Amino acid sequence: MTTTQLKDPPISKRLAKNIKRNFIERVIEIILMFAALAATFITIGIVYILVTEASGFFKEVSIIEFLTSRQWSPLFEDAHYGILPLISGTLTTSFVALSIAIPIGTVAAIYLSEFASHKTRESVKPVLELLVGVPTVVFGYFALLFVTPLLQKINPDLPTFNMLGPGIVMGVMIIPYIASVAEDAMRAVPMNMREGSYAMGATKFQTAIRVVTPAATSGIIAAYILGISRAVGETMVVAIAAGQQPTFTFNPLEGAATITAYIVQVAMGDLPHGSLGYQSIFAAGMVLFVITFVFNILGHMARKRFAERY
Amino acid sequence: MEQNKVDAEHSLIKPQTLEEVRTMIRTHKRNDFIFSSIGLLTITFALLTLLILFVDLVMDGYPKLNYQFFTDFPSRRAANAGILSAWVGSSLIMLVTFITAVPMGVAAGVYLEEYAPKNWFTDIVEINVTNLAGVPSIIYGLLALGLFVYTFHLGQTIVTAGLTLGLLMLPIVIVSTREAIRSIPVAIREAAYAVGATKWQVVLHHVIQYSFGGILTGIIIGMARALGETAPIITVGALTFIAFLPPAPVTSVAPFISFEWLQSGFTVLPIQMFSWLSRPEHAFHINAAAAGAVIIMLTLVMNGTAIWLRYRIRKNIKW
């Protein structure tokens, strides 16, 4: 009875349905592929924009002057185009930040991964993740109106805009990030390695330092590298609190502009499109992009190597 | 002779007597204790520092945190200044960001996990996404300035800012979508294929449905980040002093929806805070603190929701 009712449609009709279905599937796949390609287009777009705008800049300014001159004053009458002062500012603030964030972040990661009770870890970890998400402009407020006044009480000669205050705040800002990534790496070390160490009579501290940390090295290095990349690219904290005067100095007690602070400073003003000052922010941006790109790739490689081992 | 040599080697190993062994164990146990104290102190110190900073901020801004603050335009007089144009601008930009980044990010994530063949091309796209997540946000600002403002002539408008933050958010959505999809067992897909589903049907009815929570987590985290971003918005040319609102998206005459607001100038919460912060007068710093407290609250609530959501998903996982 039922078989007669459910009689199949003629074969041509079924094939037509199949063709239509396959066609739709194909179209959807192509649409999805273009979405994935968009990510590549962003990178291409970044490189394209930076290169075209900066090439206008380098038509006027020789690369040798750009890389060796110790003065950066593109907006003044007596214009100089040496990127070194901006780089020295970037390096100094990053150095201050990392000399705080790396030791504290590492100790915190080791403690959380190897010593802390399950309960402590489960409550501290989300807090770290929450802190990673706090907007950086807020940290700029802390640097300018909390940490620098505090430092001025210790050293009254410290100028309002200096690199030490923002450096310290940036360090505190990066601690949760480094701690979180490094802790993930240590957690990923297989349990039986720890058990082996304990079985030999090693203490927790010995196991953490001689077994877990060496095993997680590349993961921990990845955390450091990503931390460096964040410090170098950090904008608002230094733009607010480190000053806007490009100075070739490595003394954190002085104020100096970083690459990012310079870009912000120019963008806040109203430079005409196509002027040399306008193009100079793309040249500065290109240097920043190259530096962070190298660190990101290194970090990615370290992370991948770590992931492959376990 | 032979015995002596072995003894000599043994003497290199430190604990010789029982007393020495006990001393060694004591030393190592003490080291253990010292380090765990240092670790606990470090974490407490770091968290306490941040807590003090936040409390300081909220205390500074507290006198301004009233209803008026949210309904006043910025003003030359600190006492009258509010964040009306800033929070309206932020909301509208978030809307554009959401509409651009979410469909694209989810689609890209689905493609990379479910469709992409394993070859060099996919590898390049993958490295790209990882790298993009680490590009400083100000570089996105430069991209937007060169591309949206001066190549596509979109102007220094809400749509430009929304698209810029959309680009910034895209890698975050892609990564979290991929992670969520990866946690779904192959058996689910095979079961669907076995009853004759096409690939797209499997993706739409099963993969996306089951990874929805994880994707949502990524979206919320990305939105929180976009909300707090300042640098790229400065480069595309946000105004720091705006005493008007963009045209309303809903109108009283047909067709009832207007897109004029997309073309409007704008300011956002972090920019408003930044501009108050760059003024020398102390009264404006109080406004900045109040705006900062609002930003922190918003991002903490958003990120908190995301983390709680992820925790719940992990707990309720069915396979």
Q: Is the pLDDT of residue B319 over 90?
A: no
Residue A92 lies in a domain: yes
- pLDDT, residue B133, reads 81
Q: Return the half-sphere exposure (C-beta side, CA atoms, 13 A cut-off) of residue B94.
A: 21
Do B171 and A39 lie within an 8 Å CB cutoff? yes
SS3 B257: strand
Residue A142 is assigned to a structural domain of this protein:
yes
ipTM score: 0.86
User: Within this chain, do residues A107 and A201 fall inside the same structural domain, yes or no?
Assistant: yes
Q: Where do the H-state alpha helices sit in chain A? A: 2-5, 11-60, 63-68, 84-110, 118-132, 136-142, 148-154, 164-187, 191-199, 204-207, 213-215, 217-233, 236-241, 259-268, 276-309
Q: Is A260 on the interface with B (CB under 8 A)?
A: yes
**Statement to judge: residues A98 and A52 lie in one domain:** no
**DSSP states of B149-213:** ITTS---SSHHHHHHHHHHHHHHHHHHHHHHHHHTS-HHHHHHHHHTT--HHHHIIIIIHHHTHH
Assign A175 a pLDDT band (cuts: 50, 70, 90): very high
Note whether residue A76 is domain-resident: no
Judgement on whether residues A144 and A44 belong to the same structural domain of the protein = no
Is A41 in the same domain as A104? no
Mean pLDDT of B159-169: 92
Residue A218: half-sphere exposure toward Cβ, Cα within 13 Å: 15
The pLDDT of residue B117 is: 86
Chain A residue numbers with beta carbons less than 8 Å from the beta carbon of B137 are 233, 235
User: Nearest Cβ partner of B299 from A42, A133, A205?
Assistant: A133
Q: B146 and A282: CB-CB below 8 Å?
A: yes
* pLDDT for residue B224: 92
Tell me the mean pLDDT in the region A14-34. 87
Six-digit token pair at A53?
A: 């705008």
Q: Which residues contact A162 (CB under 8 A, 6 or more apart)?
A: A148, A151, A241, A242, A243, A252, A253, A254, A255
Q: What angle do CA B231, B233, B236 make, to 5 degrees?
A: 115
| Rounded CA separation A258/A252 (Å) | 12
Are A24 and A109 part of one and the same domain? Answer: no
Same domain membership, residue A118 and residue A150: yes
Using a CB-CB cut-off of 8 Å, the residues of chain B touching A267 are 141, 145, 234-235, 237
From CA A161, how far away is CA A171, in angstroms rounded? 17
Residues in chain B within 8 Å Cβ distance of A45: 143, 147
Report yes or no on A215 lying in a domain. Answer: yes
> Which residue in A48, A121, A127, A137 has the most chain B C-beta atoms within 10 A of its own C-beta, making it the best mutation to test that interface?
A137
pLDDT above 60 for A226: yes
Q: What is the mean pLDDT of the segment spanning A242-269?
A: 86
Kindly state whether residue A19 falls inside one of the protein's structural domains. Answer: yes
Tell me: pLDDT of A8 over 70.
no
The secondary structure of A241-253 as a DSSP string is HS-S-------TT
Question: Cβ B231–A264 below 8 Å, yes or no?
Answer: yes
* Nearest residue of chain B to residue A266 (CA atoms): B235
Radius of gyration of chain A (CA): 27
| Residue B191's pLDDT band (cuts 50, 70, 90) | very high
Residue B105 CA, distance from chain mean position: 14
Same domain, yes or no: A44 and A154: no
**Pair (A139, A44) in one structural domain:** no
How would you class B218 by CB atoms within 10 Å of its CB: exposed for 0-12, middle for 13-18, buried for 19 or more? buried
Within a domain: residue A252? yes
CB contact under 8 A, A38 and B170: yes
The tens digit of pLDDT for each residue in B5-59 reads 555 555 556 667 888 888 888 888 898 899 989 999 988 888 888 888 889 888 8
In this predicted structure, the answer to whether residue B255 has a pLDDT above a threshold of 80 is no
- Looking at the complex, report in whole angstroms how far the Cα of residue A234 sits from the nearest Cα belonging to chain B: 7
- Whether A292 and B53 lie within 8 Å, measured CB to CB: no
| CA nearest to B307, candidates A233, A122, A79 | A122
Pairwise CB contact (< 8 Å): A260 & B221:
no
CA distances from A50 to A65, A282, B19 (A): 19, 5, 69
Q: Which chain B residues have a beta carbon less than 8 Å from that of A282?
A: 142, 146
- Asked if residue A2 has pLDDT above 60, the reply is no
Can you tell me the mean pLDDT for A127-149? Answer: 89
SS3 of A227, please?
A: helix
Q: What is the pLDDT at residue B253?
A: 64
Q: Which domain holds residue A42?
A: 12-60
Looking at the structure, do residues A176 and A250 belong to the same domain, yes or no?
Answer: yes
Q: Quick check: A126 and B311 CB within 8 A?
A: yes
Q: Residues A133, A45: one domain?
A: no
Residue B231 with chain A: CB contacts under 8 Å: 235-236, 239, 260, 263-264
Considering the domain architecture, whether residues A90 and A55 belong to the same structural domain is answered as no
Residue A108 inside a domain? The answer is: yes
Q: Give the list of residues 6+ apart from residue B95 with CB closer than 8 angstroms, or none.
A: B162
Give the three-state DSSP class for B13. coil
Which helix (H) or strand (E) segment holds residue B50: the answer is helix B18-61
Q: How far apart are CA B100 and CA A183, in angstroms?
A: 34
CB contact (8 A) between residue A141 and residue B288: yes
Q: Is a pLDDT exceeding 70 seen at residue B2?
A: no
Which residues, other chains included, contact B17 with Cβ-Cβ below 8 Å and sequence gap of 6+? none
Check residue A47 and give its pLDDT.
92
Interface of A with B in 55-94 (CB under 8 A): none
Q: Cα(B145)–Cα(A49) distance, rounded to whole angstroms?
A: 9
Rounded Cα distance between A100 and A175, Å, is: 8
Q: Do B226 and B169 contact (CB within 8 A), yes or no?
A: yes
- Look at residue A256 and tell me whether its pLDDT is greater than 80: yes
CATH of the domain at A100: 1.10.3720.10
Backbone angles phi, psi at B118, to 5 degrees: -80, 95
- With respect to residue A75, please indicate whether it lies within any of the assigned structural domains: no
- Give exposure, A166-201, as e/b (b: 16+ Cβ within 10 Å): bbbbbbbbbbbbbbbbbbbbbbebeeeebeebeeee
- A81 in helix, strand or coil? strand
A113 and A247 co-located in one domain: yes
**What are the tokens at B129?**
């996404």
Q: How many CB pairs under 8 A join A and B?
A: 260
Mean pLDDT over A108-124 rounds to 90
Indicate the residue of A124, A263, A268 with minimum beta-carbon distance to B43. A124
- Average pLDDT score over residue span A229-242: 89
Share of chain A above pLDDT 90, in %: 34
**What whole-number distance in Å separates Cα of residue A259 and Cα of residue A239?**
10
Q: Which residues in chain B have Cβ-Cβ distances shorter than 8 Å to A21?
A: 198
| DSSP assignments along B67-106, one per residue | HHHHHPPP-SSGGG---HHHHHHHHHHHHHHHHHHHHHHH
**Three-state SS annotation for A107-158:** HHHHHHHHHCCHHHHHHHHHHHHHHHCCCHHHHHHHHHHHHHHHHHHHCCCC
Split into its structural domains, chain A has a count of: 2
* B35, B54, B55, B57, best to mutate vs chain A, most A CBs in 10 Å: B35
Q: What pLDDT score does B254 carry? A: 62
Q: Which of B110, B115, B303 sits opposite A130 (nearest CB)?
A: B303
CB B175 within 8 A of CB A36: no
pLDDT band at residue A83, thresholds of 50, 70 and 90?
A: confident
Q: Where are the beta strands (DSSP E) in B3-145?
A: none
A175 touches chain B (CB under 8 A): yes
Q: Is A100 on the interface with B (CB under 8 A)?
A: no
- Residue A1: what pLDDT? 45
